[in-house]
Amino acid sequence: MSSTRRLDIEEVGDVTVAKFVDKKILDETNIQLIGNQMFGLVDEDGRKKIVLDFSTVEYLSSAALGKLITMDKKVKAARGKLRLCAIRPEILEVFQITRLDKIFDIKSTQEQALDGM
Amino acid sequence: MPIYEQFEIQIPSDTAEGQAIQEKIIAAMEAAEFSPRDVFGMRLALEEGLVNAIKHGNRMDPDKRVRIACTVSDVIASIEIEDEGPGFDWNDVPDPTAEENLDRPCGRGIMLMRAFMSKVEYNDSGNKVLLEKLRVTPDETAS
């Protein structure tokens, strides 16, 4: 169990909003930590409705995308719902280039992500 | 052609060492007034290129080194990254955007490098990559 929290968790009704703490999601160790904390929301806490808020994130690498794909699989396997929001344009371009915008349910703002969750 | 940074260095197979070099190159591009998108793209490409060299090329072997050659001028940022690994067949990387590969975590690093750089070139054995970014002038951005 790590003592460093990489996600800020907030409950909005029955939805869990997880906001990334880091500006740069690049470093391998950090990505591992973030992955474990994200997966814990589903695997350990049994949360079904999750919004990932990217408003702090300025950079992310392909290794981080890998963790998000795994997270999406976990949530789908648990018959839950996952939404991504507040992604800045440069990072949104990363999702578009890799066509991951087709896999993820991406909303512009946290409010929009929470709406109808 | 003013040169903002030019060096050739060998670093151990350690991602923290790679990070330090990355910061040096990014600082030079910022000083040369590359656009924020160019700088973003180079940071991403450097991250992918260095992680590939250190982790996949040298397999984190402390006895193996990564050579980095860098030139940043007011018109181009040119970075060469070479590892001491066996290389790989860069023509044989699965297309990460193909429907059947979309949820597989592979091939995206190279794809992002190609998308954000003006040129990405591997040597035949695949253990050396050249990343080049031409500076986009404000006029070109507007057109």
Which parts of chain B fold into alpha helices (H)?
15-31, 36-51, 108-116, 138-142
Residue in chain B nearest A94 by alpha carbon: B112
Q: Which residues from A are below 8 Å from B48, CB to CB?
A: 61-62
Question: Is A59 in Cβ contact with B40 (below 8 Å)?
Answer: yes
Which residues of A fall within a CB distance of 8 Å from B19? 26-27
Rg of the Cα trace of chain A? 13
The DSSP code sequence of A38-106 is HHHHHHTT---EEEEE-TT--EE-HHHHHHHHHHHHHHHHTT-EEEEE---HHHHHHHHHTTGGGTSEE
For residue B105, give how far its alpha carbon lies from the nearest alpha carbon of chain A (Å). Answer: 5
Report residue B106 CA to chain centroid gap.
Answer: 17
Domains and CATH numbers, chain B: 3-142 (3.30.565.10)
What value does the mean pLDDT take over residues A29-34?
Answer: 90
Q: Count chain A–chain B contacts defined by CB atoms under 8 A.
A: 55
Over residues A2-16, the mean pLDDT reads: 88
| Distance separating alpha carbons of residues A49 and A114, to the nearest angstrom | 9
Let me know: does A44 contact A1? Beta carbons within 8 Å.
no
Structure tokens at A82: 């996952």
- At B129 the three-state DSSP class reads strand
Level-2 CATH architecture, domain A7-111: 2-Layer Sandwich (3.30)
Domain boundaries, chain A: 7-111
From its phi and psi, is residue B64 left (phi > 0), alpha (psi between -120 and 50) or beta? beta
Confidence of residue A44 (pLDDT cuts 50, 70, 90): very high
The ipTM (two decimal places) reads: 0.85
pLDDT in tens, A75-110: 999 999 999 999 999 999 999 999 999 999 999 999
Q: Is B115 an interface residue toward A (CB < 8 Å)?
A: yes
Give residue B107's pLDDT.
84
